[in-house]
Structure 1
Amino acid sequence: MEDPYSFCEICRINHTSGKKHSFSSKHTARLKTILKKFGSKISDSKKKLLNPVISKASSELSAVNVWCYMCSVEVKRHVADHHAIIMDAGLLEHLATPEHAKKVHQFFWENRLSKEQKKNYLVNEEGLDSFKEALKNALACYENEEETQLKKQAMKIKEIECTQTNVVNQKEEDLQITTQSEQQSGPSSGHSSGSWGNSSSGIKPHSKVQTEGVSKPHSKVQTEGVVYSDGLTFIGKSNCLPDGNVHTGAVPPWLRADDGEPTQTKPIGPTEQDFQEHLKKERKRKLNPARVGANFDRTSTNNPDWMPSFGRVWNSGRRLQSKQQYQRETGNWKKRKTMNGHHSGKY
C-alpha cells in the first residue's frame, strides 16, 4: 500500500495533495523567496569568474557556508590557499559539478519551473577553466604585493632599530664625557660633596652662620641663610598665635568662635528634645496618611460660634434641629421664612 503522505523540501511539511501542492499559493511564495535568495548569491559569485578576488586569510571567511536548495547540502563558499582566501571559489566549483546539474533538473521538474531559468543556477566547464586561469595571475599579483608590503615593514623596523642604537650610543658618549670632566676637575669644596650634589643648588657663600655657646657641649646652633635653587621654594617663619597651637594644647582655629559670635557655643549634635521630636515624627510617618484628622490643624484658633458639621450625640432627630438648638443657646438663632412659608436652614 502506497503512503498517501509526501514530504515537501521547500515548505518542510507533509501533505496529501500530490502534484497539486506545487501549484499552491503557499508553496509558490516560499519557492519564490528561496530562488531569489539563492540566486543573488550565485550572481555575486559569477561576477568573480573573470576577476577573482583574493583576501587575507581569516577564520571568519573560511567558516562561511552556503546551503544549496537544489542538492540539499551545505557547501563552503570560499577556499583557503596557504595565507590567502579565494572568494566564492568553493561555490563556483560546486555549481560546475555534474551532480549539481542533475539535482537542478530534478528540482525544476518537481516544482514546475521554466527551463529558461536553469542556466542562472549552473556554471559550465568553460567558465570554470577561465576562472582557474585568471586565478593564477591574481595569485601571482597578490604574492608580489604581499612581498612588497613585507619589505616595507622590514625597512621600517630597521630604521627604528637604527635610531634606537644611535640614541643609546649618544647617551653612552655623553656619560663618558661627563665622567672625564669630573675626574679632570678634581674634588670640589665641602659644600658640593654634601647631600646637595651639583653646584646648581646649595647655600651661597654670603650666607651667615651664627653660633652661640660653642664651648658648651649641649649648646644650640642658630643658622641664618637663604638657599637658592631652581626647584626650591622659600618658606619663611610663621607667626604663631599668642594662645599657642594644637601641639601646645590650645584650641584649634576651626573650633574657635568668630569675632561677631558670642563666646557660648551651642552643644555639638542634637539635643534630647530634638531626639524626642524625631521619634514622634517617625511614629506618625508609619500611620495611614489618609486617616481621619491627619490634615487637621490643631494650632488654629476657632470662633466661639463654630459648630461642627455633625449633630449632637445625645439629641435625637435631624441635624437641622441640633443646629437650631445650638443657635438658640448661643443667641444667634433667627427664624427665616421662605416664600412658601416653610422654615429652612444651612449647615
Structure 2
Amino acid sequence: MAVHYCDICRRTSFSGRRHLYSAGHRRRLREALAELQEAVAAARAAAGGEAAAALRPYDPAEHGRRVWCLVCGRGVQRDGRSGGMALLQAGLLRHLAGPDHRRETARFWREQRAEAALRERVLVSAEEYERFARGLERALEEHRRQEEERIQQMAAGIREAERRQRETVRDALQVGEPGPARQNRDASRDAEQPNPSGTQTGPDINWMESGQALTFIGHQEMEGKGNVHTGAKPPWLTEEEEEGSVREIGPSYEEFLKQKEKQKLKKLPAERVGANFDHTCQTGESWLPSFGRVWNHGRRWQSRHQFRTESGEKKKNR
C-alpha cells in the first residue's frame, strides 16, 4: 500500500497520491491559499494607488513583519526600506514578481493538483512591479527634495535668530558704555562698513570673540548694604562677629555616640533575650533571679549564696 505525506493536511495518507483529489485536501488547500491571496491583493492595491502613499517613517515593530509564502515555503519581508523611510508592500511585490516565486508556483500547482484559475492570483507580472518601482522612485526623489528644502529653511531660521541675538547683545553693550566710548565704537563700526566698491576697510568684529558678557545690566547694589559681588562679607560671618559667640552646628559628640550605639542594636535579633527589658525600673540589692547570677567557677546555684554573702558584708561596712 502506497504511503503519502501531505504538507497541506499535515498527515500521512495510506491511499497514496489519490489523497490529493479528496474533498478534505481540496478544502484545506483553498483555505491555505486564501491567506496568501489576501496578502497578494493588499500588495496589488498598494501598487495600483499613489506611490507617495506607500512612504512611511520606518518603524521596526510595524514594518519589520514577514508574510508566509505558501508556495515557496518561507517568510518574505513585507515592506522595503530606503534610509529612514519604509516602502509599504515593496518587499512582497518584489518577491511575487521574481522568477523564483514563479517557478515555485508552477511546482506547487503541479504537486498539489490545485485549480489553474487560482494560479494568477498569487503572481504579479514584471510590468506591474516595474510600474510600481518607477512611481516609488519618483516619490522618494520628491521626499528628498522636500527634506532638503525643510533643512534649508531651518538653517535660515537659525541664522536669522543668531543675527538678532548679535544685534541684541550689541545694543545692550552700547547702553552700558559711557558717551565717548560709544561714539568711538560707532566711529569704528562706520569705518569697518564695506565701501561702495565692495571691499571692507576694517576687520569684522565677532561678538563671540569680544570677551564681553552676553548681557550687562549694571551693578546691582542695595542701599546701605553690600553683597558678596561687591566684596562685602557674607551675612553668616557678620552675625557671628556681632553676637561674639560661635554657635555649635550639628549634634554633639555624645549624641553621635548614642546614635551609633542604636545603629549597632538594630543589627541584633529582635527576639533576643533582654531586648525588651525595661531599664527604667527600680530594684534593690536584695533582688536576685531564681537561677542565680553570672559565675566563673563552681556551680551556678552557688552564685546566690555568694551574692547574699557579698550583700551582707556591704551592709556591715555601711
TM-score (normalised: structure 1): 0.44
Structure number with larger C-alpha Rg:
1
TM-score (normalised: structure 2): 0.48
Q: Which of the two has greater helix per residue?
A: 2
